[in-house]
Amino acid sequence: MWRVILERLRQKHRTHGYPAEAPVMPGRFQGRPVVDNNTVAGAEGPVACCPTAALAIGPDHRLRLDAGKCLFCGECTKACGQHGVRFTQEHRLAAARREDLVIKGGEEHLADALNKEAARLFGRSLKLRQVSAGGCNACEADTNVLNTLVFDLGRFGIQFVASPRHADGLLVTGPVTKNMELALRKTYEAVPSPKIVIAVGACAISGGLFAGHDETFRGVGDILPVDLFIPGCPPHPWTILDGLLRVLGKLR
Amino acid sequence: MAGAVELLWATTSVMARLEETGVVSQADAISIGLVGPAARACGLSRDVRNDFPSGIYRYANIPPASWHSGDVFARAFVRWVESQRSIAFIREQLGTLPTGAVAVASGRIAPDAMAVSLVEGWRGEICHVALTDSNGRFEHYKVSDPSFHNWYGLALALRNQQISDFPLCNKSFNLSYCGHDL
């Protein structure tokens, strides 16, 4: 028993003061991209080097970046030398509507709270079933780490459960492989209504690197209605937590 | 973290729960072809980094960590020893990093070829097989995940066990559904 007490004293309190305290992102973190409003000359280089065609020139002849496709690899910033696209340290990226993930010059859309009824039902207790539908384990690892004592997801009333029957919604990762389609549909049907679906990561949002492949879909949206999109490859745990709290109306 | 894990091994109530739960015999592990930490927890020294060394593992090796008992404790303990050896290996290699580019462009893919790649992932052996056609385009590509090999190991570990041991055995194998269904 003394050993347990001594070890507890040695470990100290590790839980972060979020959301009252802002998270400190590592120096190499590539957060929310910013697209210049007026640059199009010379944009062909950065557009051509984007591995997922996230960066494009819109009908208004301005650059736009689809954060739902972006791998945050930074190839475009290398190609354009910081003019046109650059990545900030901003970790808040989640959006409730797919079109809000498309970043045009200087605009910003963060996920709003769900409707009042959903906030009343899930705001104090949200149980999620995680489905990895062909994910590479990166999004799964960054979601799983929210259960550790640094993030302590339980204090926000959010918990991952072992059965869809116990869940209020699904948190899906991966592009949805054809082999996981039936499992994903069955899991969704097993969740009692009303329910929400959260897509985490570029693959789950748009198919990511695998978009257009014969054996995968272009993300969860092809199969199920999605209520929250959390971009990243993988998203940082703070990005995922921000999205979950925002959709529950716990952050404004 | 080390203090917390050492506490795990020193706490009798934890050890009583882990030891002799979900045992897979070495003979069964060989006959069903277990891979990764699950195989090494049955006393096998099976590790792609040692058995088929490529890249950095041709010059530097990490001694495979194994334990003989084949139970939940063995699978947990092997992971702990591996974590320590991996951290030591990374620290050692970081001290002697070679110079040069981080990424290089891949060349043209060879036509009419078959390539097999084996990598030791954290769950065990990951195998990629690619077949190309006469134009150097992929004709077929198959990935097999360690979960594909180890699922039957979980089934064997649960034979004659109580239902309350299921979560413990399940997490000790830590299998991936979508990896199995690739």
From A48-52, A126-130, B121-125, the region with the lowest mean pLDDT: A48-52
How many angstroms separate the CA of residue B27 from the nearest CA in chain A?
A: 31
The b/e string for B14-48 (b: 16+ C-beta within 10 A; e otherwise) is: eeeebeebbbbeeebbeebebbbbbbbbbbbebbb
Predicted TM-score (pTM) of this structure: 0.86
Mean pLDDT (whole number) for A129-155: 94
The pLDDT score that the predictor gives to residue A57 is: 85
Measure the CA–CA gap between A178 and A47, rounded to whole angstroms.
30
pLDDT band (50, 70, 90) for residue A123: confident
Q: Check B181 against A7: CB less than 8 A apart.
A: no
pLDDT band (50, 70, 90) for residue B179: confident
Residue A3 with chain B: CB contacts under 8 Å: 7, 10
pLDDT band (50, 70, 90) for residue A115: low
Which is nearest to A161 in space by CA: A202, A139, A207, A192?
A192
Q: Check A137 against B176: CB less than 8 A apart.
A: yes
Measure the CA–CA gap between B102 and A238, rounded to whole angstroms.
28
Tell me the pLDDT tens digit for each residue of A9-57: 988 898 999 989 999 999 889 999 888 876 666 677 778 888 999 988 8
pLDDT above 90: percentage of residues in chain A: 58
Measure the CA–CA gap between A123 and A6, rounded to whole angstroms.
37
Tell me the pLDDT tens digit for each residue of A148-196: 999 999 999 999 999 999 999 999 999 999 999 999 999 999 999 999 9
Query: In 10 A of CB B105, how many CB atoms?
Result: 5
Measure the CA–CA gap between A108 and A65, rounded to whole angstroms.
12
Does A10 contact B at CB distance below 8 Å?
Answer: yes
Query: A214 to each of A112, A172, A184, how far by Cα in Å?
Result: 34, 20, 18
Burial of A49 (0-12, 13-18, 19+ CB in 10 A): middle
The pLDDT score that the predictor gives to residue A252 is: 62
How many angstroms separate the CA of residue B40 from the nearest CA in chain A?
A: 22
Contacts of B91 (CB under 8 A, 6+ apart): none
Measure the CA–CA gap between B67 and B76, rounded to whole angstroms.
10
- DSSP string of A105-129? TT---PPPP--HHHHHHHSS-EEEE
Of A3, A11, A179, the CB nearest to B182: A179
What ipTM was reported for this prediction? 0.76
Does A203 contact B at CB distance below 8 Å?
Answer: no
Contacts of A211 (CB under 8 A, 6+ apart): A52, A69, A175, A218, A219
Of A7, A135, A137, the CB nearest to B4: A7
Phi-psi region of B87 (alpha: psi -120 to 50; beta: other; left: phi over 0): alpha
From A135-144, A208-217, B32-41, B97-106, the region with the lowest mean pLDDT: B97-106
CB contact residues (below 8 A), chain A span 99-128, against chain B: none
Contacts of B107 (CB under 8 A, 6+ apart): none
Cis peptide before B111 (omega within 30 of 0): no
From A41-55, B42-56, B140-154, the region with the lowest mean pLDDT: A41-55
Q: Least CA distance to B122: which residue of chain A?
A: A137
Mean pLDDT (whole number) for B52-64: 90
Cis peptide before A237 (omega within 30 of 0): no
Of B3, B7, B178, the CB nearest to A174: B178
Measure the CA–CA gap between B21 and B16, rounded to whole angstroms.
9
pLDDT reading at B108 higher than 70: yes
pLDDT band (50, 70, 90) for residue B16: very high
